[in-house]
Structure 1
Amino acid sequence: MAKRTLEDIFSNDPLNLLEVSVTKSKKLSHYAIYYETFEELKNFVEQKDREPNTDAINIHEAKLAARLKKLRSTPEALEALAPFDTEGLLGNSAASNIETELTLDDVFTSNLLVDDDDIFNLKHVAVGTKSQTASTDMATRKKCMDFDEFKPLFRRMQLDLDDGTLETSSIKGIAEIQKGQAFILSGLIAYVAEIGEKHERRKGHHNARMRVVYSNGMESNLLLRSFGAALYKDKSARAIVPREAGPLFVNEESPLYKSGIVYVLKSKSEDPSITKHRDYLHKIGVTTSDVKKRVANASKDATYLLANVEVVAEFTLYNMNLQATEKLLHTFFREAQADIQIPDRFGNIVKPKEWFFLPLDLIKQVIQVLQNGDITKYRYDPKDVCLVEVK
């Protein structure tokens, strides 16, 4: 039998044993770079709610911006990622029309494989925005230009932490982060000054842009979930909460923890004994719910004199024991308390204790000195119906 030549072997291969295709494996290996990079970019945009900036101080963000630019200018990358670019990050409307078959030569001649282009060769940089820590968040902080407005709040919180009016507790989760909340993060007091409108990024996961002011005069506008991640990763992070026995009023311009509402009502009763005092007969109470909902059934409740009422004033409480506040106000005005007896719907005599013969302006004045912490400096003078400074 004559020896077969190399040409005979290649030309006579009925089982296709010599058909070796490396294009697919090479292609998939190269596309893996596109997919990994695209996922990293999507994570960044989801967390920061913006695209990475090439001029960013953070080297990781600058690298991501360079990769995004490269992907947008690479046809094979646009084609590969078109099915996954549902939010148009790469501008894939043009990519969807690309039908060119990618060859092995296309892969090796791609700009992404040029020797001096090392944008995918990361050194000394943690890959993936999910691995970033609270220190990354600190790098995005800037000087708070209106910090003078927050100084009294931070000073008050520090004093109340020192004397035990406020205390720290473990953080229960992202739901605990609300406007007016305060935390200890990286050794600083972090105050949540603003939370924007919440939007759904993924099914069941909501996010919102925040303004967080720190006790060192800095601030950041990070996302709600980013702040939550920073709190989770800082093992020493704590929430600042009031002690139950420690009352504290903070005015509405610098809120902390909303405890409830002091409300003032005026009766709409047609009873002659009530109508003649209507201008200065007021009910003073507290509630943790909406005031209008609280008094919706006033006409059926003897506490409200079995008549509808008008809400004439509301004062939001922060870090205040509601029951202690109500008792304090009622005790302060005890000499103006109305002696009312009224039968309820079942004929039982009820004596409401929350109605007082007081002008509305005086009630507002007393709550103001209570807010300022100066109520112990005054007393109520029933003769002249005014506040008198204690000497």
Structure 2
Amino acid sequence: MNTSFEHYIFLAEPFGFGPISSSIAIARQLKILDPQKKIIFMGSGTSHQLAVKSNIFDENYFVEDMSESSFIECNSEVNSTNCLIIANTYPKAVLIAKQAEFKCVFIDTLFWMWNQLPIKALDVMKYFIEEFHCTDVKLDRFGFSDIFMLVPPLIDVDVPPHIVKHPFLLVSLGGIDSSLYDFPVFYQKLIEYISKEKKLKQYNILICGGGNKFRENEFKKYENSQLIITCLGPHEYMSKLRVADIVLSSAGLHGFYENYFLKKNVMFLPPQSYSQYLQLKYILNNFSKVIGANFENLEMSHSLRENMPELERINEVKRTNKFLIKDPIWKKFLNIFEDFHTGKIQTDWKSEKNKLQNSRLGPVLVAKEILSLV
């Protein structure tokens, strides 16, 4: 492929694992298609954590306060003529790239959620929109632009299975530990419960997640001969997800797609962010036999709704999360979880109302399009 760009810098919003995991999937395909290109990651938080774990990027730079000088300060070989910035669900990165006079593309994993575009479309060469087939969102709802490109899910599940002892329970908490919400108190209580619950003794258990507490091994005290708590790179995590007998998963978009494509017997955990609440609501509406503990399932009052102002929705999520660990909400969650891990209820993906038509080639399509830009 003929392109003037020699370097590609990925910038992923350090919130959860969604932006960085999809960035890693695309970066992997860039390396396969053109191994000579230098693939770089810059960022902080859970995004930097997973980028390092992935072993995909040629260089990883921890940059907490991104600025227009960050690109050339980190790598002297980079300049505005030989480098393309790839901003994943990270509006601030687009503005920084523009100020630094670097060309940029934007990957939007939350297009379905916005009440207005998070960036100016004219500031980027291409605007990739990840499909979320549980919502009926029109591509042109903010006006038509030929830079928009709708792409299939940005995940890679084609990895070999890992060898584990069965029965195997995989608990995926995602990378929700962020400056916006901090580590959820619900997850803290869940980890402690799983480590002590005698009814789970038959399972070999792996709890995965990201953030400071995982980085600093704060959960080590809960481990035992049948329970491991750690942060895994995407490839290793997927290899274990493939063989899990049951899965307890955060309600992130990519966690949904991973379980959907692998047809896992999964139970989705209560939302820990605004996007997770909406995603889980749409998923449960589209799949009548998928197990999930959304606030409605827990008979929990709240005021979350579509198109909420940012500060209002953040405060409401923080408020609701405080109540998740209190009786009787916690007991209602445990009742659902017990029915799930004992086999009384299970997820059946065949109940889908609107089937996904596109393939799992989203990362390949995006990588090819990026390499074609000049």
Same fold (TM over 0.5): no
- TM (norm. structure 1) is 0.24
Which has more radius of gyration?
Answer: 1
Higher relative contact order (Cα pairs below 8 Å, separated by 6+ residues): 2
